[in-house]
């Protein structure tokens, strides 16, 4: 088949490589322009190294973008990690239309941070969807879905890189084959089950130590490695990454007040939360590199009774 890829970064590159490795043709690659000072886009770099036609339009609404898609003469459009809005005039050009990847079980978790939120909310399952792009954000008809469990200690990193990323690449190939063979079924999304979640950024990633321990732990997991759940110590932002939780069983087990450091060791430090403790294994201050919780705590002068988040 002959495809046109719209995407960016490592996932876009992996999808491009997957189609090329099995002998498919690429009529054109569409990438968003890099911001000044940003690292080179992995998809753009790979496509140019292979001598493919690469376009970087500020907007896919641009008449030139429409013209470029027509010139690609693609059988199907492949949207892999796309943050630009793609109008119907653009996505309908390929002979068999366009398909798009989304890392959630649509219609749940429409929006840009759809991997973070299921973990933050304590869900035990998530997945990926291949669907038809429409003018509504993540609202098009579903072609293919794959489910994956969220284990109790999974993080955004383990869910995405171990499962949603590699399975997503395979699913794009599978869905494209189904569409071209006319063997796919398109199902409208059930609006009664739909949810929209916005970005998970720094404001959403701030830790409230007074929240129940499960909520604190899920926030840390769902923001690891990005954007990084955070608190403060002595006026500095402290991001927490790898962590473990311990539940309190008795009142006598509770060491100190909510948000207080309960223990500092060579490897970690522990913080009292509502109903349990968070043991911080990996963290970083705003002006340091990521390191072990114990090393950072000792270097910052953190000790038993130190208060976080004040």
The residues, ordered by sequence, that sit 6+ positions from 220 with a Cβ below 8 Å of its Cβ are 207, 229, 240, 241, 243, 278
pLDDT at 36: 87
pLDDT at 310: 75
Average pLDDT along the chain, 310 residues, taken 10 residues at a time: 97 98 98 92 97 97 98 98 95 98 98 97 98 97 98 98 98 98 97 97 97 98 98 97 97 95 97 98 96 97 95
- Phi and psi of 183, rounded to 5°? -105, 5
pLDDT at 37: 86
Q: What is the DSSP letter of 33?
A: P
Quote the CA–CA distance of 25 and 76 in Å, as a whole number. 11
Residue 108: closest CA among 85, 153, 142: 142
Quote the CA–CA distance of 276 and 261 in Å, as a whole number. 12
pLDDT at 283: 98
Over the range 222-244, which residues count as b (16 or more CB within 10 Å of their CB) and which as e? Answer: bbbebbbbbbbbeeeebbbbbbe
Its pTM stands at 0.95
Q: What is the DSSP letter of 81?
A: S
pLDDT at 213: 98
């Amino acid at each position: 088949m002959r495809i046109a890829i719209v995407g960016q970064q490592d996932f876009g590159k992996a999808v491009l490589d997957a189609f090329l490795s099995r002998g498919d043709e690429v009529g054109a690659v569409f990438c968003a322009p890099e911001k000044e000072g940003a690292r080179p886009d992995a998809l753009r770099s790979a496509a140019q190294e292979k001598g493919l036609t690469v376009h970087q339009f500020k907007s896919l609404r641009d008449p030139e973008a429409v013209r470029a898609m027509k010139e690609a003469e693609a059988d199907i459009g492949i949207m892999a990690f796309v943050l630009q809005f793609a109008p119907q005039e653009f996505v309908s050009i390929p002979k068999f239309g366009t398909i798009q990847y989304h890392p959630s079980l649509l219609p749940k978790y429409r929006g840009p941070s759809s991997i973070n939120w299921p973990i933050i909310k304590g869900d035990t399952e998530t997945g990926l969807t291949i669907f038809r792009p429409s003018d509504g954000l993540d609202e098009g008809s579903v072609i293919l879905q794959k489910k994956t469990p969220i284990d109790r200690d999974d993080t955004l990193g383990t869910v995405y890189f171990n499962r949603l990323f590699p399975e997503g690449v395979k699913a794009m190939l599978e869905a494209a084959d189904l569409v071209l063979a006319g063997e796919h079924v398109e199902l409208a999304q059930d609006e009664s089950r739909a949810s929209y979640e916005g970005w998970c950024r720094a404001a959403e990633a701030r830790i409230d130590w007074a929240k129940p321990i499960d909520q604190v732990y899920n926030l840390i997991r769902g923001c690891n490695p990005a954007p990084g759940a955070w608190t403060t110590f002595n006026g500095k932002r402290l991001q927490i990454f790898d962590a473990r939780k311990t539940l309190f069983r008795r009142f006598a087990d509770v060491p100190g007040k909510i948000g207080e450091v309960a223990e500092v060791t060579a490897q970690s430090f522990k913080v009292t939360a509502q109903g349990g403790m968070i043991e911080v294994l990996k963290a970083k201050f705003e002006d340091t590199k990521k390191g072990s919780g114990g090393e950072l705590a000792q270097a910052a002068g953190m000790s038993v009774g130190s208060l976080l988040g004040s």
